[in-house]
């Protein structure tokens, strides 16, 4: 069912609240990654609100979908989304990267058990997700038997980490095995820590590579809530192969000073920059509310 105007407004406001939390937690931590988390806030808000099968009150519910974050450095957006979804108090976000915190600088499953994987080494998440998807198929009795449950494995990955060869090895295996229970999302924001992706290690023709590897590919505007949700619903209807959703996003989205600048890939805002960013985001929140009145 298509999202209503009210659904879209609520999701845009959730994404904006997630961005505010990201800025605040990075300021408190004094380190971390800014551009990627801000750029993926719309995707994560739409995904957790309208797509993912989950229960924050029962994070170990056996029927839940599995979420694998491969590009672990964007964990501020994952943590903020989980907090705003009810997994733990929003106030805990201020403990990001603190000694003894459950919210490590890269996700650690032993610290935060509601996570499905630990991540840090770029390129590993796709292999983890493919392994989970294969295990589900084995539990279901093989390729022809389909899935034992309606569970899907979702893998969030970055464009820059496609410089790592094990990402492509996993993609090849997923295509070979026709893992229709695997849906991946790549944050195609065109930056990485050293510069723009096409300067550091060109990825194009990116879509054609995945198609050649046996995937169904959907390209979307990663800031259009309705388009994001439609892409996931379309992916669920693909039964003969895995699906890659290529989300074209603006790194640093929501804060003009941060947008499209690779320098913000791996640094946190200082107090003045954070205050400026929060003012801009609060203004944006007011604009979202007024646009739907």
How far apart, in Å, are the Cα atoms of 188 and each of 85, 165, 230, 283? 25, 18, 18, 27
pLDDT tens across 257-266, in order? 999 999 999 9
Confidence band for 230, pLDDT divided at 50, 70 and 90 = very high
SS3 226: helix
pTM across the whole model:
0.95
**Mean pLDDT, range 9-23, rounded to an integer:** 98
Angle of helix 5-29 versus helix 271-291 axis, rounded to 10: 170
Q: For residue 145, is pLDDT > 90?
A: no
Q: Which domain holds residue 92?
A: 5-291
pLDDT above 70 covers a percentage of the chain that reads 96
Question: Looking at the 3D structure of the chain, how many domains does it have?
Answer: 1
Q: Quickly list H helices, 177-217.
A: 197-200, 206-212
- Please state, in angstroms and rounded to a whole number, the distance separating the CA atoms of residues 32 and 268: 5
Q: Which two tokens stand for residue 24?
A: 């605040």
- Please state, in angstroms and rounded to a whole number, the distance separating the CA atoms of residues 192 and 72: 13
CATH assignment at residue 269: 3.40.50.970
Write out the H or E segment, with its range, that includes residue 221.
Answer: strand 216-221
Q: Which two tokens stand for residue 274?
A: 């954070």
- Please state, in angstroms and rounded to a whole number, the distance separating the CA atoms of residues 180 and 178: 6
Confidence band for 121, pLDDT divided at 50, 70 and 90 = confident
- Lowest-pLDDT range, 136-145, 185-194, 274-283? 136-145
- Please state, in angstroms and rounded to a whole number, the distance separating the CA atoms of residues 138 and 132: 10
Confidence band for 142, pLDDT divided at 50, 70 and 90 = low
Q: Which two tokens stand for residue 251?
A: 């790194």
- Please state, in angstroms and rounded to a whole number, the distance separating the CA atoms of residues 103 and 94: 9
pLDDT tens across 150-185, in order? 789 999 999 999 999 999 999 999 999 999 999 999
Q: Give 56-61 contacts, CB < 8 A, sequence gap 24+.
A: 56/82, 56/85, 56/86, 56/87, 57/86, 59/87, 59/113, 59/114, 60/113, 60/114
């Amino acid at each position: 069912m298509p999202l209503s105007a009210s659904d879209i407004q609520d999701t845009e406001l959730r994404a904006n609240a997630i961005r505010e939390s990201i800025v605040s937690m990075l300021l408190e931590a004094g380190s971390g990654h800014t551009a990627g988390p801000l750029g993926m806030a719309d995707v994560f808000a739409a995904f957790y609100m309208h797509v993912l099968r989950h229960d924050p009150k029962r994070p170990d519910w056996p029927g839940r979908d599995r979420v694998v974050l491969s590009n672990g450095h964007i964990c501020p957006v994952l943590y903020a989304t989980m907090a705003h979804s009810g997994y733990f108090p929003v106030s805990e976000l201020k403990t990001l990267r603190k000694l003894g915190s459950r919210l490590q600088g890269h996700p650690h499953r032993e610290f935060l058990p509601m996570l499905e994987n630990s991540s840090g080494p770029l390129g590993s998440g796709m292999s983890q997700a493919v392994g989970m998807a294969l295990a589900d198929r084995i539990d279901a009795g093989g390729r022809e038997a389909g899935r034992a449950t309606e569970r899907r494995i979702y893998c969030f990955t970055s464009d820059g980490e496609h410089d790592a060869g094990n990402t492509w090895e996993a993609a090849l295996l997923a295509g070979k095995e026709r893992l229709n229970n695997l849906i991946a999302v790549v944050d195609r924001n065109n930056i990485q820590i050293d510069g723009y992706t096409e300067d550091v290690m060109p990825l194009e023709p990116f879509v054609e590579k995945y198609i050649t590897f046996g995937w169904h590919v959907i390209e979307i505007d990663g800031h259009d809530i309705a388009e994001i949700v439609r892409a996931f619903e379309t992916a669920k209807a693909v039964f003969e192969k895995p699906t890659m959703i290529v989300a074209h996003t603006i790194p640093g989205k929501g804060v003009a000073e941060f947008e499209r600048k690779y320098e913000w890939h791996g640094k946190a805002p200082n107090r003045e920059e954070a205050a400026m960013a929060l003012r801009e985001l609060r203004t944006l929140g007011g604009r979202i509310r007024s646009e739907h009145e």
